[in-house]
Amino acid sequence: MSRTVAGSNPARSTKYIALMSVETLVDESGKEIELLKSLGLSSGESKIYMRLLSQPEGEMLDKVVTAFGIPAPIAEDSLKSLADKELVRISSNRVEVIQPRIVLQRILDQRRRTLESQVAAEASVALQLEKALEPIYWESRLGIRPEEIIEPLRDLSDMEVRTAQILGNAAKEAFIFAETFGWYGKVRESLFQAHDRGVTMKIMMVKDESTKERVNELRGLGLQVRYCVEEWYPVRGTLIDDQELVFLIWATKKLGVPRPIYYRPHYTRNQGLIRIFRDAFLKRWEEGKPS
């Protein structure tokens, strides 16, 4: 039968023994510290967090810096870093740990953001390398540069920029095959400048409520506009003087789809591809309805 010392508090003694057991476990096992380090915490951060974990009342700041067996400069930096990451709480010169479940989720969220940023940066580097290395690969195998056939563009924004550029090169005619011409504002100035130079413009769109204002403005300037009779056609683009083509192929129907899928847009001067686009455009132009 166990005994208690006279004048002692059994509950307090039990709590003290439990805390000592937890602290001993933390000190003797490096497994948890290594796991925290594997999640990106430094050795100092991991050690401070584990030491504070068994102290429900927290610890005074100066003691954390001087009595945790960590060099003072490292302890100060580690403590500040833990506070910045919101893994510990500092109040009235006392440090307390945040609940482990919350701490681990915050660590994962931060690492996820870091990794996403890193992947985005690496994707940009990969794109630069692709543009530099692909020509070498194909030229050494086919004897021609791939950009003489087709040049990939990064995205829809890049496509709009290139369209504005080739409109600036137009001397005789320009065929624009759009959907609702939602990117009209991006090429409007280049379009008007080409028109002022005497370039013949043929613009084809689908009939839609959102196109009325654009159609009225284009017709008011004397540009030719027609509506495509087909409900949906997957190819869109701009052809200049039968010499330059910027085009896009949709993988899913655009109308009524919140986020339609499209294949990567391209630029080409290849006469075969230009002929295919021109024939498809003119066929639908002849079948089209006047705006």
Provide the residue ranges of all domains of the chain, joining segments of one domain with +. 10-98, 108-148, 151-290
Q: Which tokens in the block code for residue 7?
A: 């004048």
Q: Could you tell me if 223 and 282 are in contact, meaning their C-beta atoms sit under 8 angstroms apart?
A: no
Interhelix angle 184-196/156-167, nearest 10 degrees: 10
* CATH domain 151-290 topology: Endonuclease; Chain A (3.30.870)
Are 238 and 258 in contact by the 8 Å Cβ rule? The answer is no
Instruction: Per residue of the chain (291 residues), give pLDDT as tens.
Output: 444 444 445 444 444 444 444 444 444 348 888 999 988 899 899 999 998 988 888 889 888 888 788 888 898 899 899 999 999 999 888 999 899 999 999 999 988 988 888 888 888 888 888 878 877 887 787 666 655 678 889 888 999 999 999 999 999 999 999 988 888 889 999 999 999 999 999 999 887 777 788 888 888 888 899 988 887 788 899 999 999 999 998 876 655 666 667 788 999 998 889 999 999 999 999 998 876
Q: What CATH number is given for 10-98 in this structure?
A: 1.10.10.10
